[in-house]
Structure 1
Amino acid sequence: MKNKVKHSILLTGVTGLVGSHILFELLRKATLNGEIFKIYLLTRGKGNKTGKERIEKLLQNPYTPDFIKNICQKNIESFIEYIYADINDADLTDKIQSKVSSTERLYVIHSAGSVNLFNTSDAEKDVLHNNYNGTHNLIRSLKNYDYKFIFISTAFSSGKVDGALTSDYRKFYDNSCDAFRNPYEHYKNKLENEIINLCGSQNRPYQILRPSVVCGRMLETPLYYTTKFDVIYGWTKFFWSLKQRGVNETVRVRVGSETRLNIVAVDYIAKVVSEVYNDDSVEFLNIVSERSDSNRCFYKTMLNAMGIDNFIFVDDIPADQTMVERTYYKLYDKVYGPYNNSISNEYDTAHLKSVIPDSMRTPPDYGQLAVFAMNHNFEEASL
C-alpha cells in the first residue's frame, strides 16, 4: 500500500544516467499530485561546473525529456533544494542537517555509485570506496531522521546463479567472493544484506530495487538517449573503433550461443522507482524486461545497424588469434566475457507487471540504440 503522506525525497546519484531519470519522474510527480514537498539533491562540483550547474545542464539540454521541457522552470526550481556534498564526506551529517529538517518525513533514494565491472584490485578499491563505504557513510549521516531507505542495487547482485530468479535474493547473501563476476556485484550483494539487517534492527523501512542492464530511453522523447556508453555499448564500441580506423578484418568473438542478457530502458526503470518508492508492500523488486534476449542476436542487430559485419561469434577463444583479436581478448573479453558467456537468467515479473501497465513495457530497439551511440561517436562528454 502506498503511503500518501506529504513527504520529501533525498536523491543521490542525480547526475548519473539512472539517477537523472529518477529525478525527471519525481519532478513530474511533484508538479502533478502535490504529495512531494521537496526534492533534496546530493550533488558536487566536477571540473569547472558547480553541483547546481551540473543539475541545470540536465534540466536544460536538447535531450532533456520533452515532458520536463513542458513544465515551467520556476515550478521545477520550487521543488529542488541542493545539498553540496559527496556521500563520502566526513561532514556529510552537518551538510544534510543544514538543509533538511529532522521533522520531515523523508524518502532516501540512493542511486549513487560506481558501475565498475572490472575484476581487478583497483576496481575493488573503487567500489569499496564509492559504493560500500559511501553507502554506510550516508546511512550514518541520517541517524536523526525518520526516513525510508531505497537502495538502487543491480539484478546481478545474485552473483553467478542459473535459472529463473524471483526478487527475493536473501538466499544468495553471505556467498563467497568467487560466487560473483566482479567486486561490483559482490559489494551490491553485501550492501543489500547489511541494509536489511541494519534497517531491521532500527525498525526502519527499506526497499531494494534492482535494475538489470540499463540501456537508453524507449518511452520518453527524445528516444534512445543515454549518457553512458558502457556494458552493451562498451562491447559494441570495440567494433565501432575498428571501423573508424578502417580495420575490416573479421574478428572471432566468443559469445555463448545459449547466453542471454536482460536489458531494460532507463526511463522505464525511473518510472518504476517513482511508482514504488512509497509503496510499503514492495520490499524487493527486480526492474527488468519481461524476457532476456540472446546475446548473439542483439549484438548482431546493434553491429549491423552501424554497418558492421566483420565479426563471427564462436563458442571458444581462438588459439590462433590475430593482433586485433588479441586486443579484444585482452581488453574487452575480460570485462564483458563473464556476461556474454555465462548468463541465461530469466526473471519473475509478476509483481512488476502489477506496478506498471503493459503499455510501459517497451522492449529495447537495439538497432536504434546503436545508431544513437554511433551518431555521438560513443562519447559521453558530448551528452
Structure 2
Amino acid sequence: MNILLTGATGTLGSQVLFSLLEDKFSRIEKLYLPVREKKSLMPKERIFKMLESEHVPKFIKNNLQEIRHKIVVVPAKDILNPECFLGGNRITHFIHSAGFVNLSTLPEAKDEIYKENLDFTKSIFKAYTYYIDKFIYISTAFSAGNLSGILPNDYLKDNHTAHRNHYEASKYASEQFLTEAGKEANIPVQILRPSVLGGNIMDHPSFFISKYMVFYLFAKFFYRSSSKDSVRITAHNDSGLNIIPTDYAAKVITNVFDTDIEQLNIVHHTTTHIAKGIQKILDTVDFQNFSLTQNIIDTATGFESKLEQFYYNTIGIHLTPYLTSKPCEWDTTLLQQILPIPEYNLEDYLANTIQYAKKQGFKNQQW
C-alpha cells in the first residue's frame, strides 16, 4: 500500500506515523509525508530528527535505514500538486491528520479557523480525487457539539449546531463536505474522531505527549503563576472531560484505516469528572488557592483578583465551555471490539500526565 499522511510532526500524527511503521511496515511500499520547513530545519530534516529521537518505538530505532527507503518527504508547498512527487504511483490511503486546533469563540477568529480546517480539506480532496483510493479524515469527538446523553459513532444523521467554538464547527463542516464529496467521486471516506489527547499509556516513555494543549494549558497556567491571588473556576458538577491517551488513539487509527468502518469515535468509555480532575491537576502543580463555582465569571459579574481576571481573559474563555459541558457518554461498543482500552485509574492518569509535563517544563517537542 502507498499511504499519504498529513500532520506527521503533530501530536497525534507523529504517533500515527510511529504506529504505521511499527505495525504495517511490511505492507507499506511508499509513505508520503508532507512537511513544512521550521526554524531553519528542512522538511526531511524534521522527519528524521523525529525518527531518531528517544521517543520512538524500538522497531523504528532498529530499522531506520529500511524505513528511510520507504519514506518520501514532500515539501508542504507541493501538497496540492501530487503529480510533482507521486511519479505515477497511486495513493491507496490518504490519512488527513493535520488540523488547526484553536478553541477561540471570537467572531474574528472564525475565518482563519475555517480556512485552515474546512477550506484546506476541500482543496486537498479536490487535488487528490484522481490519485487516491480512500480518504481517512481525523476529526474530533467534539464535532457533534455540546450534547447530552449517549453519543453514537454516526454524527452525520442529524444536523448538529450546538458547537462550543469555531474549531468544532469547522471539523463538523469538513465531515459533512467529505461525506458528500466522497459519494460524488466514488471514493470511500472514513471519519475517525479522537477526543482530548493525553500522554502515552501503552508505549514508552509513559505519559509522553509531544505538545501540551487543552487540559495541559490549564495546568501550565497555574504552575507558572507566581501570584498568591485566589481564583474562582467555573465548572459544573455533572460535567466531564473525555481524555484518550495519544498512543492508544494512534493504534486504533492504524487498526481501522484499511477497514470498511465509516465513522468511529476514539474515546474513553468513561469521562473524567470535572471537579475531581481539576482538584488532581491543581494538587499536582501545587496551586491550592481556588474554589469551584457553578456561576459564570466574566466582566459583567466582575473579578475578585487580578489572577482571576487574567485566567478568564486568556485560557478561561476557551476552556470554560468544556468545564461546563452537558453530561454525556460515547457508545464505545465497536471501539472496544477493535482495541480494548487499557484499564487505569482516570484521576491517577491525569495526575501522572501533569507530573510528566512538569518534569519537561511544559515544553513542546521541537521537530
- In the alignment, what sits opposite 1:24? 18
Residue 369 in structure 1 maps to residue 353 in structure 2: yes
Distance 2:89 2:6 in 1: 20
Residue 121 in structure 1 maps to residue 100 in structure 2: no
Residue 35 in structure 1 maps to residue 27 in structure 2: yes
Classify 1:38/1:362 alpha carbon distance in 2 versus 1 (closer, same or farther; 3 Å): farther
Aligned-partner residue type, residue 22 of structure 2:
R
Of 371-380 and 285-294, more deviation after overlay is shown by 371-380
Q: CA deviation digits over 1:177-235, x for unaligned, max 9?
A: xx211111111111101101110112211100000111111110011111221111111
Distance 2:4 2:91 in 1: 11
1:101 Cα deviation from its structure 2 partner: 4.5
Classify 1:251/1:51 alpha carbon distance in 2 versus 1 (closer, same or farther; 3 Å): same
- In the alignment, what sits opposite 1:73? 64
Unmatched tracts of structure 1, length 5 or more: 1-6
- In the alignment, what sits opposite 1:3? none
Identical pairs, percent: 33
Is contact 2:222–2:285 with CA below 8 Å preserved after alignment?
no
Distance 2:308 2:152 in 1: 38
**Aligned counterpart for 2:92 among listed residues 106, 124, 143:** 106
- In the alignment, what sits opposite 1:307? 286
Distance 1:267 1:346 in 2: 21
1:68 Cα deviation from its structure 2 partner: 3.0
* Correspondence list, 1:164-175, <5 A: 164-173=150-159, 175=160
The TM-score normalised by the length of structure 2 is 0.93
* Correspondence list, 1:223-302, <5 A: 223-242=206-225, 245=226, 247-280=227-260, 282-302=261-281
What do you get for the CA RMSD once the two structures are aligned? 1.9
3-state SS of paired residue (1:170): coil
Distance 2:351 2:296 in 1: 27
Is contact 2:223–2:286 with CA below 8 Å preserved after alignment?
no
How many positions carry a matched residue from both structures? Answer: 361
Residue 336 in structure 1 maps to residue 303 in structure 2: no
Distance 2:343 2:328 in 1: 19
- In the alignment, what sits opposite 2:126? 140
**Aligned counterpart for 1:321 among listed residues 282, 287, 304:** 304
Distance 1:122 1:227 in 2: 29
3-state SS of paired residue (1:131): helix
Is contact 2:237–2:275 with CA below 8 Å preserved after alignment?
yes
Is contact 2:150–2:331 with CA below 8 Å preserved after alignment?
yes
Aligned-partner residue type, residue 322 of structure 2:
Y
- In the alignment, what sits opposite 1:83? 74
Is contact 2:10–2:98 with CA below 8 Å preserved after alignment?
yes
Q: CA deviation digits over 1:56-75, x for unaligned, max 9?
A: 12111233344433x32102
Distance 1:308 1:206 in 2: 46
Distance 1:72 1:274 in 2: 19
1:143 Cα deviation from its structure 2 partner: 2.2
Is contact 1:65–1:222 with CA below 8 Å preserved after alignment?
no
Is contact 1:30–1:79 with CA below 8 Å preserved after alignment?
no
**Aligned counterpart for 2:117 among listed residues 114, 131, 135:** 131
Is contact 1:227–1:380 with CA below 8 Å preserved after alignment?
yes
